[in-house]
Amino acid sequence: MGRSIFLLLVLTLFSANTAAPQIAVKPERVIDPEQVQCLAANIYHEARGESLKGKFAVGHVTLNRVKSTLFPDSICGVVYQAEYKKNGLPKKYRCQFSWYCDGMSDTIFAGDAWKDCFEVASTLINREIQDITHGSTHYYNGKLANPKWAKAYSFVAQIDNHTFHKMKGVL
């Protein structure tokens, strides 16, 4: 998808549900390609079948965790946060994002889904995009899980198959 068409979709997506999209170019800075890759991989594995809005929402949760003192301070650190075995592999089902330690293949297939996820990740890192999750740091797919932790957090939104939450008392 061409960058101009992609950004037009972003503008349309956010202007349809909000007063005005808040997109501002960040000052030039060095973007670490590894961090973009980690964010894109997380979006791919967590939301490749979701709408564009759903992909942005998953990306925002990842970035919201980076901003929080409760999680690692890099995108890759957040994405690959887990309990690890002595051999360096993550313990099964002991990670922040289930795709990383569910025992299934983490292969990314080149194609439209990957391109879209990579564009979303690049856009989120390079531009200020309104956070439609309102600071959420957690989500789950209601079709696959009903986690106990959800009761301890404030419900924020339902976007596609994901339910988004944040810590209670956080605006």
pLDDT 10s digits, 48-69: 999 999 999 999 999 999 999 9
Q: Is residue 165 part of a domain?
A: no
Q: Is residue 152 part of a domain?
A: no
Give me the mean pLDDT over the 105-120 stretch: 94
CATH classification at residue 110: 1.10.10.2520
What confidence score (pLDDT) does residue 169 get?
65
Q: Is residue 140 part of a domain?
A: no
**Four-residue CA torsion sign, 160, 125, 15, 117:** negative
Q: What percent of the chain has pLDDT over 70?
A: 81
C-beta contacts of 97-102 below 8 A and 24+ residues apart: 97/42, 97/45, 97/46, 99/42, 99/45, 99/46, 100/45
What confidence score (pLDDT) does residue 30 get?
59
Which of 6-15, 27-36, 82-91, 155-164 is least confident? 6-15
Beta bridge partners of 162: 141, 159
Q: Is the CB of residue 52 less than 8 Å from the CB of residue 124?
A: no
CA distance 137 to 128: 18
First to last CA, the chain: 35
Overall number of domains in the chain: 1
Q: Is residue 154 part of a domain?
A: no
Confidence class for position 25, pLDDT limits 50, 70, 90: very low
Give me the mean pLDDT over the 116-136 stretch: 94
Question: Which ranges of 48-154 does DSSP label H, i.e. alpha helix?
Answer: 52-67, 75-79, 112-126
Which of 14-18, 87-91, 145-149, 151-155 is least confident? 14-18
3-state SS class at 168:
coil
Q: For residue 26, is pLDDT > 60?
A: no
Q: Is residue 7 part of a domain?
A: yes
What confidence score (pLDDT) does residue 127 get?
87
Q: Is residue 9 part of a domain?
A: yes
Mean pLDDT of all residues belonging to the chain: 84
Give me the mean pLDDT over the 84-105 stretch: 93
Q: For residue 80, is pLDDT > 60?
A: yes
- To 5 degrees, how large is the angle CA 51–CA 57–CA 59? 110
CA distance 141 to 153: 15
CA distance 77 to 165: 21
> Which residue segment(s) compose the domain that 124 sits in?
3-135
State pTM to two decimals: 0.81
Q: Is residue 161 part of a domain?
A: no
Residue linked to tokens 């299934």: 104
Q: Is residue 170 part of a domain?
A: no
Q: Is the CB of residue 93 less than 8 Å from the CB of residue 108?
A: no
- In this structure, the dihedral spanned by the alpha carbons of residues 95, 129, 5 and 46, taken in order and rounded to 10 degrees, is 10
